[in-house]
Amino acid sequence: MNKSLKCIASAVLLVVVTFFSRSAFADSEVYTVAMEPTFPPFEMLDSKTGKITGFDVDLIKAIAKDQGFEVEINALGFDGLIPAVLTGKLDMSISGFTITDKRAKVINFSDPYIDAGIGVMKRSDDDSIQTLDDLKDKTAVVQIGSSGQKVAEDLKESGKLKAVVVMDNVALAVADLIKGRADVVINDVTVNVAYAKGSNGAIEMLKTPLNKEEYGIVISKNNPELLEKVNKGLANIRANGTYDIIFAKYFKAK
Ligand code: GLN
CA of 29 to the centre of ligand 1 (A): 28
Ligand 1, residues at Cβ distance < 6 Å: 36, 39, 78, 95-98, 143, 146-147, 170, 188
CA of 19 to the centre of ligand 1 (A): 46
- pLDDT given at position 21: 46
| Residue from 95, 146, 190, 191 whose mutation best tests the ligand 1 pocket (most atoms within 8 A of CB) | 146
The whole-angstrom distance between residue 39's C-alpha and the CA centroid of its chain comes to: 8
Sheet holding 108-109, edge to edge: 70-75, 30-35, 92-93, 218-219, 108-109
- pLDDT given at position 111: 98
- pLDDT given at position 28: 87
pTM of the complete model: 0.89
- pLDDT given at position 253: 72
| Residue from 82, 143, 150 whose mutation best tests the ligand 1 pocket (most atoms within 8 A of CB) | 143
Residue with CA at minimum distance from ligand 1 atom 7: 96
Residue with CA at minimum distance from ligand 1 atom 8: 146
DSSP class of residue 133 equals G
Residue with CA at minimum distance from ligand 1 atom 10: 146
- pLDDT given at position 199: 96
Report which ligand 1 atom has the smallest distance to the Cα of 42.
9
Q: Please report, to the nearest 10 degrees, the dihedral formed by the alpha carbons of residues 182, 184, 189, 190 taken in order.
A: 50
Residue-level pLDDT, tens digit, the chain, 254 residues = 566 666 566 555 555 544 554 444 457 899 999 999 999 999 999 999 999 999 999 999 999 999 999 999 999 999 999 999 999 999 999 999 999 999 999 999 999 999 999 999 999 999 999 999 999 999 999 999 999 999 999 999 999 999 999 999 999 999 999 999 999 999 999 999 999 999 999 999 999 999 999 999 999 999 999 999 999 999 999 999 999 999 999 998 75
- The CA distance from 144 to 179, in Å, is 19
